[in-house]
Structure 1
Amino acid sequence: MAKITADSKYMELLNKYPLLKRDLSQKNWKFEFLVTPMGKISLWEANLEEVSKHAELSVDETVTLFQDLVDSY
């Protein structure tokens, strides 16, 4: 079980857990942009703190969402 933090790299998580691409947008529509090719390019080096700004969520909400999804795999 991976420990997800605000410093976790977005693309590393997507690469390690490919189902995140699908599940993020199903859990919260604000992640639809983030899983598009343009979203992935613009957030290539981003951590979850930066991703939370793009998704207009708090850092804690974003980390919890990612952690819950990863724990479900």
Structure 2
Amino acid sequence: MVEVTRETKYMDLLNEYPLLKTDLVRLNPKFTFLVTQMGKISLWEANLKEVSEKAKMNVDDTVNLFKDLIDSY
């Protein structure tokens, strides 16, 4: 299990929990960029802090959203 913090790499989470990408978009449209080709390329090495900046969200809210989703699996 991958620990979820602001420094956690998005792709590490996605590799462990492939449903994250579509579930995030379903819960919050701000994450639509995650399913675009450019999003896949630009976020390959991104951590959750960078993902939250891209979504224009508070980093703690983003981390909590990821944690909540992962806990639901």
User: Is there any run of 5+ residues in structure 2 with no aligned partner, and where?
Assistant: none
Q: CA RMSD in A?
A: 1.1
| Runs of 4+ more than 4 Å apart | none
Alignment length (residue pairs): 73
Residue 62 of structure 1 corresponds to which residue in structure 2? 62
Provide, for residues 5-64 of structure 1, a one-character-per-residue CA deviation record: whole Å limited to 9, x for no partner: 001100111111011011000110010112222101001100000000000000001000
Relative contact order higher in (CA < 8 Å, ≥ 6 apart): 1
| Contact 2:2–2:13 (CA under 8 A) maintained in structure 1 | no
Q: In 2, distance between residues paired with 1:59 and 1:30?
A: 13
| Contact 2:25–2:31 (CA under 8 A) maintained in structure 1 | yes
Determine what percentage of the aligned residue pairs are the same residue.
66
Residue 51 of structure 2 corresponds to which residue in structure 1? 51
- TM-score normalised according to structure 1 size: 0.93
| Contact 1:11–1:40 (CA under 8 A) maintained in structure 2 | no
- TM-score normalised according to structure 2 size: 0.93
